[in-house]
Amino acid sequence: MPELPEVETVRNELLPHVVGRRITGVTLVWEGIVKDISVEEFRSHVIGQKIKGITRRGKYLMVRLGSGEYLVIHLRMTGSLIVSPGSQEAPRFLRAIIHLDNETSIFFRDPRKFGVMRLANDTSDIEAKLGPEPLEEGFTTGVLAGILAGRKAPIKALLLNQKLIAGIGNMYADEALYASRLNPWQPGGSLSSKEIARLHNEIRRILWAAIENKGASVDTYFRPDGSKGSAQYEFKVAHGLGGKTCSVCGGPIERGLVGNRGTYYCPRCQTLKRRK
């Protein structure tokens, strides 16, 4: 599932291909990819617009159009945006094509049809439902402590709650908790100040490293040039890719469920602590 590092990689690698280009057409192989507006209205608002920029908020891509509107793209679980110079064969699971004025096309590939495109007058609705960005300077240890204070939910579930922190998904939550030696089921409000500081550091370190490695291709994620990311090769536990034994203690890596989400952890290194 594309998480913050994957979506940020898509943004970074799309920018040089699309900014300043004009949208000349939209082919909807699957019309259900467009939400909250008719297909006809979507086309009329998008075609002819110049792309002014692309920003990311959480797992959302927001393409700023010359009209002032935003084309909001959410890749969801299996979506990818692939840049085609014009002669490239369309990929499997193609759902939409955005045609540009230099004969470049952007393929929206999505095997499971969860990805969506929307139009928005501004980004306020997205901002209202997302917590702080974990890689921004304003996301301090104190901010994380405030988010966790008094909460009885498992720390893993809190990290996945986009209203609390934007962009962290299943893979990177598992990696951050393992690196912090925190049990995924530990109540968020029970963490000590030292544990919060350690978790804060590991969240940022792991996310930055994953961006450097162009995201993780564990299933269906591809970079805009069609290649795969390599962040998965650094995983210690996520998706079972870190091996069957812990690299620290040699004990078994186990899988459990936190809020119906598959969770990988080391029960020896990530013990569930009883708090007084």
Question: What is the set of active-site residues?
Answer: 2-3, 59, 261
Helix axes 4-18, 193-212, angle to 10 degrees: 40
Residue 73 CA to residue 79 CA, distance in Å, equals 10
Residue 117, SS3 per DSSP: strand
Residue 67 CA to residue 50 CA, distance in Å, equals 8
| Amino acid (one-letter) located at 270 | Q
Token digits of residue 273 = 């602590």
**Residue 142: φ, ψ to 5°:** -65, -40
8-state DSSP, 238: G
Token digits of residue 85 = 């110079």
For residue 136, what are the contacts with CB-CB under 8 A and spacing of at least 6? none
Which residues are 187's β-sheet partners? 154
